A and B are shown apart, each in its own frame.
Chain A
Amino acid sequence: MSQPASAYKDRQFLAVIGDEDSVTGLLLAGVGHVTQPPDSQKNFLVVDAKTETSAIEAAFDLFTTQRKDIAILLINQHIAERIRHRVDTYTAAFPSLLEIPSKDHPYDPDKDSVLKRVRRLFGE
């Protein structure tokens, strides 16, 4: 289970896929980062009712597989629901994926991918 140091030493950012309020709050806490202008990549995606599921999925791919500088990906649980198959089958060591509640959507532990995994482990 040990990865070479290179697998994690550059991972220094948090990434967020969330509704506007969650993202705003987390950016207020200083996690927001936009890379230098030529490509100007953001480490967050604001999702609202109009956001296409494909855009969420693309951001999920970007943060989990393409970028190597993300240590933790936070995703609102109700948004994780929209790409549930992707979230549940995500097994990579990094970045760490955490589902977080949002203001308008209370947290439901039954949907959490981590808890589901535990439940599966102990006899369905």
Chain B
Amino acid sequence: MSLAQANYHNRTRFGQDYYDERMQASRHVSLQMKDDVPSFTVSKSEPQETLSKDESEKPGAPEQPSKNEPQADRPEPSEKTSDVRSSDENPTSTKSVDPIRWFGILVPPALRSAQSSFVSAIEGPIPRLATLSKELRNLQIEIGRARKRLRKIEG
């Protein structure tokens, strides 16, 4: 992450004002269970696939607006509420583009290097850390159990 920070320093103000409100994730996490330990990987997925996944997950997703929204200040993105469901036929409408395009066509090289640093952070250390912390938690439980058994034997 530190390299990302360094690169990040020398860029000018590229911030949330530029975010595309209809962004779709182009990098997804996938989880595999290995000996009861989930292992995380993050990889780039095809926009097409992204869309269909989103569609299929929709019905089950517990995302009703019942909870208190943390993003009270979010801009109203509801210009097209009706027929986005049909985006399967028309994948270009919400298809993910390279997020760097939010900031224009000609972006400073610093921004590009920041992007590539973040990409490598997200694909390398982050899933590895997530996996490790899961392993650690399992070990923690095992140690707890072992100690308990030990106490029983001693006592």
Which A residues fall within an 8 A CB radius of B? 1-2, 5, 8-14, 20-21, 23-43, 45-46, 55-56, 58-59, 61-62, 66-69, 71-72, 74, 93-94, 96-98, 100-103, 107, 114, 117-118, 121
Q: Please tell me if the beta carbons of A98 and B63 are within 8 angstroms of each other in the complex.
A: no
Q: Please tell me if the beta carbons of B84 and A37 are within 8 angstroms of each other in the complex.
A: yes
B9, CB-defined interface residue at 8 Å: yes
A79 CA / B114 CA spacing, docked (Å): 22
Q: Which residues of A contact B67 (CB under 8 A)?
A: 58, 61-62, 66
Q: Please tell me if the beta carbons of A101 and B1 are within 8 angstroms of each other in the complex.
A: yes
Q: Please tell me if the beta carbons of A10 and B23 are within 8 angstroms of each other in the complex.
A: no
Q: Which residues of B contact A21 (CB under 8 A)?
A: 8, 15
A101 CA / B6 CA spacing, docked (Å): 12
Known: A33-B25, A101-B2. A59 touches B70 (CB 8 A): yes
Question: Chain A residue with minimal CB distance to B42?
Answer: A14
Q: Which residues of A contact B65 (CB under 8 A)?
A: 39
Q: Which residues of B contact A11 (CB under 8 A)?
A: 29, 31
Which B residues fall within an 8 A CB radius of A? 1-2, 4-5, 8-9, 14-16, 19, 21-31, 33, 36, 38, 40, 42, 44, 53-54, 57-58, 60-65, 67-72, 74, 77-78, 80-81, 84-85, 87, 94, 96, 98-100, 111, 114-115, 117-119, 121-122, 126-127, 129-130, 133-134, 136-138, 140-141, 143
Q: What are the 7 A-B residue pairs with the smallest beta carbon separation, nearest first?
A: A33-B25, A71-B29, A30-B26, A58-B70, A59-B70, A29-B118, A96-B130
Q: Please tell me if the beta carbons of B5 and A103 are within 8 angstroms of each other in the complex.
A: yes
CB distance from B120 to the nearest CB of A (A): 9
Q: Please tell me if the beta carbons of A42 and B99 are within 8 angstroms of each other in the complex.
A: no
Question: Which single member of B9, B28, B84, B98 contacts A12 (CB below 8 Å)?
Answer: B28
A72 CA / B99 CA spacing, docked (Å): 20
Known: A37-B77, A46-B16. A71 touches B40 (CB 8 A): yes
Q: Which residues of B contact A114 (CB under 8 A)?
A: 133, 136
Q: Which residues of B contact A37 (CB under 8 A)?
A: 77-78, 80-81, 84
